[in-house]
Structure 1
Amino acid sequence: MDKLRKMALYCRVVELGSFVAAAQDQNVSPAIVGRHVSDLEAMLKVRLINRTTRSMEVTEVGHRYYQGCKISLAQLAALEQDMTNEEGEALSGIIRLAAPEGLGAPHLLSAIESFQGFYPNILFDLVLDNGQTDFISENVDLSIRLAISMQDSSLIVRKLTDTRLCFYAAPSYLAKHGTPKKLEDLDQHACLAFGASRFGDSWPIVTDMGLSKYRLPWRVVVNQTQFYRKALMKGMGIGLLPEIMVAEQAEDGSLTPLSLDVTLPEVGIYAVYPNREFQPKRVSLFLKHLAERFGKVE
């Protein structure tokens, strides 16, 4: 077994949390797994995993080595695939894509469907989650994020498009409680907050001092877009969401956009991916496809 195979096996031990689980995953014996991890430790002259008969703990240097192994193995796989594709074979493989659950349907599903029309052998593992993406531990190729501004990081960031924030309420709520005209009017209304926003229990507004947080005694706080929209559609109150996530409801009239005398920030939609020298061809093609669909072609 060569060093690359040892590295891949070591990664499975770290990811699955045990030598036995990694052995079952790779269809080898636990003794073989242990021997090859020991081989790596001997070559590196460091302890990667502290183990007893009942438990194992990855050391600090073991975690750093795991992250480096994942990047190196991914770069090699991408390079090999690109070489294969140059021989004229059809593109294939899996794209693991992370995104906020509010963008899953219909936007990303539609993009995936149209992309697979061109490349039917490329499969998708779609992870819908409003949290931050750990590219290494979650083995993610590409992440879609919504943000007013992107913080500096070691990741590559590409803006796909912008969307506006807007206040929404159900026609039934407005018929019963009236339509607010000013931001201060919201004090007299039931308001719902989206808890998964990085602003938490506040709404972002633009003032003369810049971006500020506006907080009310929320009637309900929800951390999933689907349930947040449903709560608004049931007439439970007024909420704030990006227009792209409420386009269908605004079009069919189940939610009404509200114009208040307040300036709201634009939200950027970004594609984010690790800083890899060799990005898989399938990922770069899908990224281009997304940019075309969102109208921001480089």
Structure 2
Amino acid sequence: MDKLKKMTVFARVVELGSFAAAAEDLNVSPAIIGRHVADLEAMLDLRLISRTTRSMEVTEAGTRYYHGCKATLEQVDALEQDVVAQEGGLLSGVIRVAAPEGIGTPLLLDAVQSFQTLHPEVLFDLVFENEQTDFITSRVDLAIRLAIKLDDSSLIVSKLAQTSLGLFASPSYLRAYGTPTTVADLDQHCCLVFGASRFGDSWPLVTNKGMQKLRLPWKLVMNQTNTYREALVRGLGVGLLPEIMAIDLVEADQLEPINLTGQFPDVGVFAVYPEKAFQPRRVGLFLDHLRQQMKQHLA
């Protein structure tokens, strides 16, 4: 049997946690599954899975081999998809995207919906997180990050858009407490901070002395973007957000931008992904589509 088939079988055993589950998934007998794994171990002269009649445990070598198998199999799949698509075949397969949950609705969902209208055979697996993505363990095709500057020599970085950082509050809050016009005015306001950002418990402020950290007596600290947005809509205070995460609420008259004497830095929206010999064509086309959607969203 060919080696790619054995690697596929081994990967399913690791992912599903048992020979029996892999056999059911692949519609073969457990004996055939065991034979494929044993053949790989014989070729490598290594124990990949330690097993008894009741349990199995992937060895350290088996874990390393599993990650290599997944990378190889994904590259083969990408190559086949690319060749088929270039010959006029329909785009298909899964695109796994990790992104900050603050741009999931409506921006990312709008982009996914419109892309699937064009390519209905393409499926999406969306992972919303504010932490940096581990591409090896998460099996993500690309991640979206917001940063003033992004340098990572181990990844390919593609800038999708530029957005501004700004202060926002609800109309009800501004009617009740007034609108701050300078940074000094913020001491008299209820200020909310998104504690999970790269800036921690501060706001980045551009001054004539360079970038500085602005710390205030925060009324509320949160680490979840949608809850942060909801707190601002409810009139709990003034908050700092990238425009791309607030524009839908401004258009719905739920938030108002606050223009201060002082400047907050611009933020880049980046797509990052590991370098691969064959990036699936569906991923490249979705990146182009997402870039165009962001331009329309920020226009």
TM-score scaled by structure 1? 0.88
Corresponding residue of 2:6:
6
Q: Is the 2:107–2:294 Cα contact (8 Å) retained in structure 1?
A: no
Corresponding residue of 1:44:
44
Deviation at 1:174, TM superposition (A): 1.9
**Post-superposition, which runs of at least 4 consecutive aligned residues in structure 1 deviate over 6 A?**
none
2:234 partner letter: K
Q: CA distance change for structure 1 residues 54 and 208 in 2, over 3 Å: closer, same or farther?
A: farther
Deviation at 1:45, TM superposition (A): 2.4
Deviation at 1:20, TM superposition (A): 4.2
Q: CA distance change for structure 1 residues 185 and 30 in 2, over 3 Å: closer, same or farther?
A: farther
Identity percentage over the alignment?
Answer: 62
CA distance in 2 between partners of 1:133 and 1:93 (Å):
21
Q: Structure 1: which 5+ residue stretches go unaligned? A: none
Deviation at 1:180, TM superposition (A): 2.1
Deviation at 1:90, TM superposition (A): 2.0
Q: Is the 1:71–1:276 Cα contact (8 Å) retained in structure 2?
A: no
Corresponding residue of 2:201:
201
Q: Within the alignment, does 1:69 sit opposite 2:73 as a pair?
A: no
SS in structure 2 of the partner of residue 161 of structure 1: strand
SS in structure 2 of the partner of residue 262 of structure 1: coil
Q: CA distance change for structure 1 residues 173 and 63 in 2, over 3 Å: closer, same or farther?
A: same
Q: Structure 2: which 5+ residue stretches go unaligned? A: none
Deviation at 1:161, TM superposition (A): 0.9
Corresponding residue of 1:183:
183
Q: Within the alignment, does 1:250 sit opposite 2:230 as a pair?
A: no
CA distance in 2 between partners of 1:48 and 1:209 (Å):
58
Corresponding residue of 1:286:
286
SS in structure 1 of the partner of residue 137 of structure 2: coil
1:270 partner letter: F
**Larger mean Cα displacement after TM superposition, 24-33 or 199-208:** 24-33
Q: CA distance change for structure 1 residues 27 and 266 in 2, over 3 Å: closer, same or farther?
A: same
Corresponding residue of 2:171:
171
CA distance in 2 between partners of 1:215 and 1:58 (Å):
48
SS in structure 2 of the partner of residue 124 of structure 1: strand
SS in structure 2 of the partner of residue 272 of structure 1: strand
Corresponding residue of 2:118:
118
CA distance in 1 between partners of 2:262 and 2:9 (Å):
56
CA distance in 1 between partners of 2:211 and 2:38 (Å):
53
CA distance in 1 between partners of 2:208 and 2:14 (Å):
50
RMSD: 2.4
Q: Is the 1:163–1:266 Cα contact (8 Å) retained in structure 2?
A: yes
1:159 partner letter: K
Q: CA distance change for structure 1 residues 116 and 173 in 2, over 3 Å: closer, same or farther?
A: same
Deviations 1:23-73 (A, max 9, x none): 443334445434433322221223334445565444443333222222211
1:160 partner letter: L
Corresponding residue of 2:212:
212
Corresponding residue of 1:85:
85
Q: CA distance change for structure 1 residues 179 and 85 in 2, over 3 Å: closer, same or farther?
A: closer
Q: Is the 1:96–1:127 Cα contact (8 Å) retained in structure 2?
A: yes
**Larger mean Cα displacement after TM superposition, 118-127 or 74-83:** 118-127
